[in-house]
Amino acid sequence: MKDYREYLRPEVVSKLASLDLRARMVVEGFITGLHKSPYHGFSVEFAEHRQYMPGDEIRYIDWKVYGRTNRYYIKQYEEETNLKGYVILDSSASMGYGSQGRVTKFDYALSLAAALSFLMIKQQDAVGGAVYDTELRGFLPPHSRASYLQEVLKMLSAAKPSSGTGTARSLNRLAERIKRRGLVVVLSDFFDEPDEVINALKHFRHKQNEVLALQILDPMERTFNFGTDATFRDMETGEEMVTQPYQIRKAYAEAMTGFTERIKRECRQHNIDYLLLDTSIPYDVALVEYLNKRRRMG
């Protein structure tokens, strides 16, 4: 296999033809990486096994796995689904932004959503998903059968960044539609009214779901390091403005930091896991965060 790190880099993954292939390469690269630095001691078993727990029947222990790992694992069957996962993708117009040489926020989020879905199925969890912009554009309830992954990927593949945004409204509607509580993973830049976004994320918690909020930005959105004169166009209204970025960089950076810190702070106050990503960050950072969250859920 090619160096596993290659399949964790957004600019490499984005060149792969199909979303299914992207998901497979990211997850396979990730699993390979779990056995290398910096993941020493981070042990995860996929597919048909889970770690032995007190109370499990001894007859289900897989002794071949014990012989290889010196650890006890039991065989797990299809009906033993422990988690229902919902992967929610923001396809608002603002997600279509990508600075020169970078994948767009949407492409980054799309590949990550596919990889998370693949990883959930590989762990025999149930996976479902949703896509939204100004409205809810697609919704699939979670199932654990392997073939269902193709339905989720098909829905994700059909999504394209559109006009406008309605993150808060769409997330509130999704919270009402989710009838069986589980883990809700939201991939978005959260470019909406902060109070409304936070209330929408809290809505999932009110319905007894666990929540992982992945805020995805372009590196330039974090630094505003554009250099000389530049023309900026609002991706939702088309309005343009010519400015000298260095003159407003400090004020912008302070405003953006305040925005992301507020989302982070409010999330943590309401027991919502939060991770800020930009499109230069390899995908394993988010996948480790997901696995840590999954492990804490028991």
User: Which residue segments constitute the domains of the chain, with CATH numbers given?
Assistant: 45-77 (no CATH), 84-296 (3.40.50.410)
pLDDT value for 110: 98
- Name every residue whose Cβ is closer than 8 Å to that of residue 261 and which is 6 or more positions away in sequence: none
pLDDT value for 208: 94
pLDDT value for 275: 97
pLDDT value for 243: 61
- Name every residue whose Cβ is closer than 8 Å to that of residue 10 and which is 6 or more positions away in sequence: 102, 103, 107, 108, 111, 279, 280, 281, 282, 283
Whether the Cβ atoms of residue 144 and residue 81 lie closer than 8 Å to each other: yes
Which residue stretches of the chain have pLDDT < 70?
Answer: 1-2, 35-50, 75-81, 224-238, 240-249, 298
Between CA 192 and CA 218 the distance in angstroms is 16
3-class secondary structure, 141: strand
Nearest of 220, 198, 201 to residue 278 by alpha carbon: 220
Global model pTM greater than 0.85: no
Between CA 239 and CA 236 the distance in angstroms is 8
pLDDT value for 96: 94
pLDDT value for 40: 40
Orientation of helix 194-206 relative to helix 245-269, angle to 10°: 20
DSSP for 244-287, please give it: -HHHHHHHHHHHHHHHHHHHHHHHHHTT-EEEEEETTS-THHHH
CA 156 to chain centre: 13
Beta carbons within 10 angstroms of residue 151's beta carbon: 15
